[in-house]
Amino acid sequence: MAEEANFKCLRCGQEFKLPYDPKAGPQERTCPKCRSNSVRRIKEQKK
Amino acid sequence: MMDVGRHPRIKLFVYSEVEDVSGYVGNFKVKVRKKARYVDENECNACAECAKICPVVVPDEFQMGFSSRKAIYIQLPQAVPSAYVLDMNACLGNNPIACGKCVEVCDKKCIDYDMQDQFIDLEVGAIIVASGMDVYDPTELDEFGYTRFDNVITSMEFERLICAGGPTTGHFIRLSDRETPKTIGFVQCVGSRSERRGNRYCSNICCMNTIKDTVLLKDHYPDIEVKVFYMDLRAFGKGFEDLLRRSRSEGVKYIRGIPGEIYEDSKTKNLILDVENTTTGEVEKHELDMLVLSVGVIPRQDGDLIQKLLTLSRTVDGFFMESHPKLKPVDAPTRGVFFAGCSESPKDVKDSVTQASASASRAGILLSSDRIKVEAITSVIDKDKCTSCGICYQACPFKAIVVDRKAKIPAEVIEAACAGCGTCGAECPFGAVTMKHFTDEQIFPQIDAILEENPQDKIVVFACNWCSYQGGDNAGMSRLQYPATGRIIRTMCSGRVDEQFILYAFSKGAPIVLVSGCHFADCHYIDANRWTQKRVEKLWDKLERKGIRPERLQLEWISAAEGQKFAKVMREIEEMRQKVTPEEIEHTKKVLSDWKPKGAKRRPKKAEVKIEA
């Protein structure tokens, strides 16, 4: 099963999870709330 | 096919695979692997003595496994050339001590166990991709009982059973008892038009194939009862509606509903179908002797390899994407490559022949001239600035840039292969790549002009020529209302939108910048817009590090047909613009005040920009 990562919509601010494979190339992502493509992956803070 | 084989100017490579393709339009170099067939095709006269004596029997793939063949065989009756081939995976005679009977019996001495694959290098000017399609395997649709019930077959298997050259010489039988069925059903859209399983798209050919099959059955067996279970019947071509009428007039029953479940009577091996007839709204039971699943078509499994060899792009369905759906429907995005048949989309014989004729004409036009004209929107590399880092080579979707990193030989653009997306120009960190048209010297002044007065009231929009810009045009043509604060800068591809254009716009007081391009599957430059996304993602991080809200850089994929979406996006971004405070804009300008163009690339001063009439 594909790993999931946290994403944030830079249009409406919605946060959500989407499948994410760091080895795969860029994917067209859409915000489930506002359908915007300005979707940014929230990177985990380094400890 | 015989005519093709005999044609003096057509060289046919059968039992061969393309190993490698390099070069560009007019100068492709193709390496072909001609697989060893272990039989000299020039000497073999297809006498069949070898097959008669061969002791190895394996399922015949051409007959869908309904009959058998020998290890030495002809793939299909009309094979060109008409010569035998040895299946070395099945043959016992690889070691002559084990068998070798075919060698003994061959008078022409044309069987050679030591034959090796040959590699042939070709130089060609144009390439037509006619790699065909595969057929959907309905095993995963368990409710139809394919492989569980003997008398459930696919439409491809039906073709073999009804064919005069098939395993039963055209006597249609059911598999459980070899009797001619009295009732037969066809289920449409198996593996097609489904969101859950199979494929979402319509396979185009299945409806007419089934209608043709029902007419064929009624011609052969007038008393047979035929039922077709369907969602919609798509008989839209020339003469298709007539054939449907003929099928109906001959007594074929068309029932609007797909079976939910199929059971088998263990004694008779008959099939019982539960179907909701959506025309009457009633659940019906139908008992049939045999059921044919009208399976859809799927892209070829080796499509990835062909895509890689020829730098092609594919739609979300997996078929190869044409350069332009209306204006260049048979051209690939890579210049000099054309499509014919189902490699591009599911289509019937007539459409395939039409497309093949068009492709042959397009290739003929190309080859008939010594020189070709290409659009002047190509990139140029400044060899003094180029460090041979190879980033432009990696970014080019068309492999139109050559560079020798080890020898530090500067990159060079093959203009005939360059499509002018501008991704190399945007990615080059040293400012060594400039574009002919859509130059930096043209784009910076547009940003200046947009933000010259009241920059806080403007949204800088970068839109690609093929989709987003056309989407804006569509919104205008449709008289859709959207705020007038957006100012569009057109580029051929969103891949051209350099990071420095965006930073420059922010440094000049732009409250919001929107980068828009084609949807991933629609990119006219294969995968150039993937580079746009990567670039924007990096910029979001960069802006955040500089204390600038990343929300002020927006990204959107808008197709030419999405005027509604364009208007909606502009309305949403206008709301965002109104929330950007003057203090925020001033802070951004201050943060970016020390911003300089990347590498040695120099942003022209306004005074230096000359506009020639």
CA nearest B522: which of B560, B488, B492, B569?
A: B560
Q: What one-character-per-residue DSSP string does B436-503 give? A: SSS-HHHHHHHHHHHTSS-GGG-EEEEEETTTHHHHHHHHHHTT----TTEEEEEES-GGG--HHHHH
Tens digit of pLDDT for each residue in B315-356?
889 999 998 888 999 999 999 999 999 999 999 999 999 999
Question: Mean pLDDT throughout A14-42?
Answer: 93
pLDDT band, residue B437 (cuts 50/70/90): confident
pLDDT tier for residue B609 given thresholds of 50, 70 and 90: very low
Contact indicator for B134, B300 with CB cutoff of 8 Å: yes
Using pLDDT thresholds of 50, 70 and 90, give the confidence band for residue A25: confident
Question: How far is residue A5's CA from residue B516's CA, in Å, rounded to a whole number?
Answer: 24
**What percentage of chain B reaches a pLDDT higher than 70?**
97
The answer for B405, left when phi > 0, alpha when psi is -120 to 50, beta otherwise, is: alpha
- Nearest CB neighbour to B533, from listed A11, A26, A34: A26
Neighbours of B514 (CB within 10 A): 24
End-to-end CA distance of chain A: 27
Local confidence band at B613 (pLDDT 50, 70, 90 cut-offs): very low
Q: Smallest CA–CA separation between A12 and chain B, in Å?
A: 9
Is the pLDDT confidence value at B575 over 60?
yes
B551–A37 C-beta distance less than 8 A: no
Nearest by CB to residue A40, choosing from B540, B573, B576, is B540
Helix orientation angle between B582-591 and B499-507, rounded to the nearest 10 degrees: 120
Report the length, in residues, of chain B.
613
Q: What pLDDT is stored for residue B97 in this prediction?
A: 64
Taking only the tens place, the pLDDT of each residue in A8-17 is: 999 999 999 9
CA distances from B123 to B212, B281, B308 (A): 43, 62, 19
pLDDT band at B239 (very low <50, low <70, confident <90, very high): very high
3-state helix vs strand vs coil in chain A, percent to 5: 0, 30, 70
Within 18-37 of A, beta carbons closer than 8 Å to B belong to 25-28, 34, 36-37
Handedness of CA B439, B442, B445, B446 (dihedral sign): negative
Give pLDDT, residue B605: 46
Element (H, E) at B244: helix B240-249
Average confidence (pLDDT) over B516-530: 91
Asked whether the predicted pLDDT for residue B487 surpasses 50, the reply is: yes
Neighbours of B326 (CB within 10 A): 6
Task: List, by residue range, all CATH 3.30.70.20 domains of chain B.
Answer: 379-435
Asked whether the predicted pLDDT for residue B610 surpasses 60, the reply is no
Question: Average pLDDT in the A29-37 region?
Answer: 95
pLDDT for A22 beyond 90 = no
A11 and B572 within 8 Å at the Cβ level: the answer is yes
Please tell me which residue of chain B has the smallest CA distance to A28.
Answer: B520
CB B492 within 8 A of CB B529: no
* Secondary structure class of B107 (helix, strand, coil): coil
CB B492 within 8 A of CB B438: yes
| Residue bearing the bigger pLDDT, B506 or B5 | B506
Smallest Cα–Cα separation from A40: which of A12, B564, B507?
A12
Report yes or no: B288 and B144 within 8 Å, Cβ to Cβ.
Answer: no
**CATH 3.40.50 domain position(s) in chain B:** 450-607
The dotted CATH code for B379-435 is 3.30.70.20
Structural domain boundaries in chain A = 4-41
pLDDT tens readout for residues B100-117: 889 999 999 999 999 999
In angstroms, the separation between the Cα of residue B540 and the nearest Cα of chain A is 8
Contact B99, B93 (CB under 8 A): yes
pLDDT at B96 over 70: no
Report the distance separating Cα B549 and Cα B545, nearest Å: 9
Q: What fold does the segment set B134-298 form as a domain? A: FAD/NAD(P)-binding domain (3.50.50)
Query: Cβ B534–A26 below 8 Å, yes or no?
Result: yes
pLDDT of B567: 96
Q: How far is CA B553 from the centre of its chain?
A: 32
Q: How confident is the model at residue A23 (pLDDT cuts 50, 70, 90)?
A: confident
Closest CA–CA distance from residue A39 to any residue of chain B (Å):
8
CATH number of this structure's domain B450-607: 3.40.50
- Residue B594: what pLDDT? 76
What digits encode the pLDDT tens for the residues B362-419? Answer: 999 999 988 888 888 999 999 999 999 999 999 999 999 999 988 989 999 999 999 9
* Residues B545 and B493: beta-carbon distance below 8 Å: no
3-state per-residue secondary structure call for B38-61: CECCCCCCCCCHHHHHCCCEEECC
Name the average pLDDT for chain B. 92
Per-residue pLDDT for B6 more than 50? yes
Give the pLDDT of residue B2: 83
Residue of B141, B138, B522, B76 lying closest to B297 (CA atoms): B138
Percentage above 90 pLDDT, chain B: 83
pLDDT at res. B375: 85
- Higher-confidence position of B1 and B519: B519
Q: Which helix (H) or strand (E) holds A7?
A: strand A4-9
Q: Range(s) for CATH 3.50.50.60 in chain B?
A: 134-298
| Continuous H helices in B273-416 | 303-310, 349-367, 391-395
Beta-sheet strands, E only, within B209-335: 225-230, 253-256, 259-264, 271-277, 282-288, 290-295, 297-299
| Predicted local distance difference test score (pLDDT) of residue B77 | 86
Secondary structure of B305-341 in HEC code, one letter for each residue: HHHHHHCCCECCCCCECCCECCCECCECCCCCEEECH
| DSSP letters for B179-207 | PPPSEEEEEEEETSS-SSSS-SS--SSHH
| Helix or strand run (H / E) with residue B515 | strand B512-517
> Does A28 sit within 8 Å of B556, measured CB to CB?
no
SS3 B73: strand
User: Under an 8 A CB cutoff, do A10 and B540 touch?
Assistant: yes
